[in-house]
Amino acid sequence: MVGTRSWIGGLFTRSNRRQDKAVDYTLSPLQEERLQRLQDRMVVPFDETRPDHQESLKALWNVAFPNVHLTGLVTEQWKEMGWQGPNPSTDFRGCGFIALENLLFSARTYPVCFRRLLLKQRGDRAKWEYPFAVAGINISFMLIQMLDLQNNPKPKCLPGMNFLKLLEEDERAFDVLYCIAFAMMDAQWLAMHASYMEFNEVLQATRNQLERELSLDDIHRIQDLPAYNLLFQ
């Protein structure tokens, strides 16, 4: 069902990225500090030998399935959450520890929305659904690319530049944007009556919509994004 390892990040190695005209701008001290912290998070790989990474993975399971005992860090149980195999650590190679942080943030901050997405509770679902956890890794990866966060010292694209304004207002802006993107992706999935093989198209449509919303003139806080309300529906 969940395909091969190449499923992670496959969309972005094939898609054409829109290039915005280079615009020079100055970061405020707070923007610079928070962007650096976010970029530091992005380069941390998931390390299955680190106790804190192991505990975070266990915490994700406990939030997702509080009444189901996890038998180990390598077990077929992980497939129930949408990992590609019995060892989730292999899936993080496509993004890193920040992808697990994003999933945990979603589960703890917007638990109703998280469970709705995890359990596919809304809409007429496809016979072959997208795998939840691996979809989450793809969304983290997509956001990093879309916002041009790997470009040092600062993003050069319009969505990335506007995102820094949101980051200045709320240090959790990237994590909240992740939750919005996941909810938006699921809404797009249902609207497009998509199945497993259409995931890339759905994710691209999600990216396009996020870029449009981040380019609006009246977006000053993460809560101003039109799609923010998806977290509470």
Domain ranges of the chain: 30-45+97-231
The whole-chain average pLDDT of the chain stands at 89
pLDDT per residue as tens digits for the range 84-134:
999 999 998 878 999 999 999 999 999 999 999 999 998 888 788 999 999
In percent, the amount of the chain with pLDDT more than 70 equals 90
C-alpha–C-alpha distance, residues 223 and 181, integer Å: 13
Instruction: Identify the band that residue 3 occupies on the pLDDT scale cut at 50, 70 and 90.
Output: very low
pTM: 0.90
pLDDT of residue 21: 55
pLDDT of residue 20: 52
Backbone angles phi, psi at 34, to 5 degrees: -75, -35
Top pLDDT among 2 and 183 is at: 183
pLDDT per residue as tens digits for the range 12-66:
443 444 445 556 789 999 999 999 999 999 999 999 999 999 999 999 999 999 9
Residue located via tokens 């994590």: 175
pLDDT of residue 160: 94
pLDDT of residue 152: 82
pLDDT per residue as tens digits for the range 148-207:
999 888 999 999 999 999 999 999 999 999 999 999 999 999 999 998 889 999 999 999
